[in-house]
Structure 1
Amino acid sequence: MPATQRSNGDVHTSSKTSQREWSGPGRGSRGSENIDASHIVLWRHPLMTIEYFFREIGSLLMQAINKVPAYKGLVLSTIALAVLTVVLYQVKGPHQSFMQVGLTTSLWWGWWIMLGILSSVGFGSGLHTFILYLGPHIAQVTLAAYECGGLNFPSPPYPNEIICPSELDPKWQTSIWNIMSKVRVEAMLWGLGTALGELPPYFMARAARLAHKPPPASVVHSKTPANILEKSKIFVQRLVEKVGFLGILACASIPNPLFDLAGLTCGHFLVPFWTFFGATLIGKAVIKMHLQKMFVIVAFNESLISQILSWLHVLPGGIGAKFEEPILGILRGQRAGLHRSGSSTPPPASWLSTLFDKFVLAMIGYFVLSIVNSLAQSYYRRAHKMRKSKKQRD
């Protein structure tokens, strides 16, 4: 009995000693081993979160640098292409006009692909770039088409600024199909970006399966799902697992916040890359994008907007009239902007457009905060796991 007590006392003392020695993944973070990873956020532990965030950034940079030798040919080709582009852009000659057009087009296309990736990846909290960027762009083109009576806007300034053309082109008369054609490139590039953003979960689950690691918790089927969300997850996973290409295509063709589970499931069950990416690309960049475009174009149809504004008067307490004037102000400002010359000053912004600008800034701010928190939590989990494994070995 004394030996047992002495042994327990030694264990207790050792536990206290280990807690005193433990300073968490970073220095000066005493007691952080008792913190749940989800609690490492800026509004709870600001200094710790910022420290772990920069440590994770440094770790990711070192990983990228260490992988450079494995992709030496690709890196050298990219550098050579970049140097050649800069030289051709600086040297004067007849090719300058083509270089300018090519550079402008590449930046414009890259912008929409990047927005699609941000919407899909987001480190757990994607930026809603369709609502913030692509949807308003389609709506602006739709309103301009009905106001101008055509779609052959002068380019430039289109798409940065939409001005009614001086002469209408019969080939670009206002119709739903012509509007869809006008914004098809931007929409499909955004869809391509969302498809590329679904690749990290796929590769992570595939690498874990090939390394003979246990599957992620999200791909372990539960016999007794707790709620609707769990049932939805299981439905997506089983659909992808059983139906294959058509199941992935179906999940990618509709607005589906649980599609990350499809990527995890495909990676875990070693679905071929082109089967997964091909179905995702077709579903997101072709099928779903045309449905979303159609919805926005119909919603911003001029006659439909007028009908909706007339319905606002039915609302009790004068609420409809309060909202009608700001909406009409935005439409008048849009129409005035379409007819003004490039040198005239833009019309003053309404309070509703100002509120929307604030909303956009708030969304971007939340997106940045979510990235900082997510990277800090990732570093904490990895370092805490390494610390525990080291203790077990000792």
Structure 2
Amino acid sequence: MSSERETLVLWRRPLTTLLYFTLQLISEVVRLTTLLLTNTTLILTSVVLSAVVVAALHFEGPHQVYVSVLQDKSAWCLYWLGLGVLSSVGFGTGLHTFLLYLGPHIASVTIAAWECGSTHFPEPPYPAEITCPDSGEPMSINLLAIMSKVRLEAFMWGAGTALGELPPYFMARAARLSGQQLEDEDFNELEEIKEKDDLDLWSRAKLLMHNLVEKAGFFGILLCASIPNPLFDLAGLTCGHFLVPFTTFFGATLIGKAIVKMHIQMLFVIFIFTKHHLEALENLIASIPEIGPALHAPFVDYMDKQKLKLHSGGKEGGPPTDSMVSKCFEIFLFLMIGYFVLSIVNSMAQQYHKDVVEKKKAQ
């Protein structure tokens, strides 16, 4: 049955895969709706909050100024929180939103801060668009000033990645409490690894992380969450299987991902895109044998256009925004999102097939 399940992909069995995906999607919607309808406290709280929000938005008064600011900030925070969730959720694939969104945003702010001599960008258009302030004394640009400008976005993105790690934890916890065997490929592979003597590097890494989380508890989870770790799903499965308290797992994961790891990633991007480091990068590109000069000219041209755009304010007469670099990024972004969507469709279709097979066995 597992071999048949593996053939449920869009490029091999498109019609069956789409059918199973649709049925699984309907099943999840029905399950979620039923769960919400049975929770009267949640429904009552949601109705009251919705009424308060609607009243605040539609009734005129001096509070509208604060409502507008709160609305913009909330939308901005939810945007980065959602991107963080997408980065760690996706049935094992994830959408790498740090490389696609947060990293470029931090890089743009860093370049703008050095070019403008200030981080006091006019709002609006910031954060949707960055332009240099028209007046005001230049401020001292340093690492801390740039970090404070992007810390909110980085924290919300990191918190989103922590939220995205909860499904493996709850899945393993529910399986353990119900006395069922957890049918997860990574977890089952880990059980097989424990019985082997000759292990490769990847297997050793899986076993090391499993043992670290199991034995070190909070600090083991914190350590695993604080470094770029493609195996962190195993930490969630391990914690859920051994019934580690939710506050311990999520607290360590949130601190590790939203504070420790995010500051490391933020510092790295700011360091790379600092003014004198960018100049060193341009020289490094130019020194690459044979292809260096061909890459150097488009790179310098793109950076010059971005700097001019900061001062033009995006008004008519500014430099054109189309470039080879931006087009390549758009193509890369399109391919990444396409792969992410395909992986979700395939995974949900396979999950539906798995549920059907298990129901037949139970009968």
TM-score bin, normalised by smaller chain: over 0.9
Match of 1:196 in 2: 163
- Give the whole-Å Cα distance in 2 for the aligned partners of 1:217 and 1:116: 27
Check the 8 A contact 2:94/2:340 in 1, yes or no.
Answer: yes
Displacement after TM superposition at 1:388 (Å): 3.3
Structure 2 vs 1, CA of residues 168 and 292 (structure 1 numbering), >3 Å: closer, same or farther?
A: farther
Does the alignment pair 1:175 with 2:134? no
- Give the whole-Å Cα distance in 2 for the aligned partners of 1:333 and 1:85: 43
Does the alignment pair 1:100 with 2:68? yes
Match of 1:123 in 2: 91
Structure 2 vs 1, CA of residues 204 and 34 (structure 1 numbering), >3 Å: closer, same or farther?
A: closer
Does the alignment pair 1:278 with 2:245? no
Give the counterpart letter for 2:310 in structure 1.
Answer: L
Q: Secondary structure at the match of 1:124?
A: coil
Q: Secondary structure at the match of 1:183?
A: helix
Q: Secondary structure at the match of 1:44?
A: coil
Give the counterpart letter for 2:120 in structure 1.
Answer: N
- Give the whole-Å Cα distance in 1 for the aligned partners of 2:46 and 2:302: 45
Displacement after TM superposition at 1:341 (Å): 3.5
- Give the whole-Å Cα distance in 2 for the aligned partners of 1:109 and 1:118: 14
- Give the whole-Å Cα distance in 2 for the aligned partners of 1:148 and 1:340: 12
- Give the whole-Å Cα distance in 1 for the aligned partners of 2:68 and 2:334: 31
Q: Larger Rg: 1 or 2?
A: 1
Q: Deviation per CA, 1:306-349, whole angstroms, max 9, x where unpaired?
A: 112112332222x1111111111221111111001353255321
Does the alignment pair 1:217 with 2:188? yes
> Which of 61, 74, 78 is the matching residue for 1:110?
78
Displacement after TM superposition at 1:386 (Å): 1.6
> Which of 179, 189, 209 is the matching residue for 1:236?
209
More off after superposition, 61-70 vs 272-281: 61-70
> Which of 246, 263, 281 is the matching residue for 2:236?
263
Check the 8 A contact 2:36/2:42 in 1, yes or no.
Answer: no
Q: Deviation per CA, 1:133-191, whole angstroms, max 9, x where unpaired?
A: 00000000000011011111111111111111123456x52101110111000000100
Match of 1:72 in 2: 40
Does the alignment pair 1:320 with 2:292? yes
Q: Report how many aligned residue pairs link the two structures.
A: 356
Give the counterpart letter for 1:329 in structure 2.
Answer: D
Q: Secondary structure at the match of 1:257?
A: coil
Structure 2 vs 1, CA of residues 84 and 34 (structure 1 numbering), >3 Å: closer, same or farther?
A: closer
Q: Deviation per CA, 1:195-253, whole angstroms, max 9, x where unpaired?
A: 11111111111111111122441553522165322221111100100111111010000
Structure 2 vs 1, CA of residues 345 and 95 (structure 1 numbering), >3 Å: closer, same or farther?
A: farther
Give the counterpart letter for 2:350 in structure 1.
Answer: Q
Unmatched runs of 5 consecutive residues or more in structure 1? 1-32
Match of 1:207 in 2: 174
Does the alignment pair 1:292 with 2:265? yes
- Give the whole-Å Cα distance in 1 for the aligned partners of 2:190 and 2:170: 14
Q: Deviation per CA, 1:95-141, whole angstroms, max 9, x where unpaired?
A: 22211111111110000000000001112110000000000000000
Q: TM-score, normalised by structure 1?
A: 0.87
Give the counterpart letter for 2:264 in structure 1.
Answer: L
Q: Deviation per CA, 1:15-42, whole angstroms, max 9, x where unpaired?
A: xxxxxxxxxxxxxxxxxx6852122111
Match of 1:8 in 2: none
Structure 2 vs 1, CA of residues 34 and 192 (structure 1 numbering), >3 Å: closer, same or farther?
A: closer
Percent identity between matched residues is: 48
- Give the whole-Å Cα distance in 2 for the aligned partners of 1:277 and 1:231: 25
Check the 8 A contact 1:149/1:168 in 2, yes or no.
Answer: no
> Which of 348, 351, 366 is the matching residue for 2:339?
366
Check the 8 A contact 1:201/1:260 in 2, yes or no.
Answer: yes
Does the alignment pair 1:376 with 2:343? no
Q: Deviation per CA, 1:256-309, whole angstroms, max 9, x where unpaired?
A: 000000000001011111111111111000000000000000111111111121
Match of 1:51 in 2: 19
Check the 8 A contact 1:138/1:293 in 2, yes or no.
Answer: yes
| RMSD (Å), alpha carbons | 1.7
Match of 2:131 in 1: 163
Match of 2:10 in 1: 42
Q: TM-score, normalised by structure 2?
A: 0.94
Give the counterpart letter for 1:343 in structure 2.
Answer: K
Structure 2 vs 1, CA of residues 193 and 218 (structure 1 numbering), >3 Å: closer, same or farther?
A: farther
Runs of 4+ in 1 over 6 A off after TM superposition: none
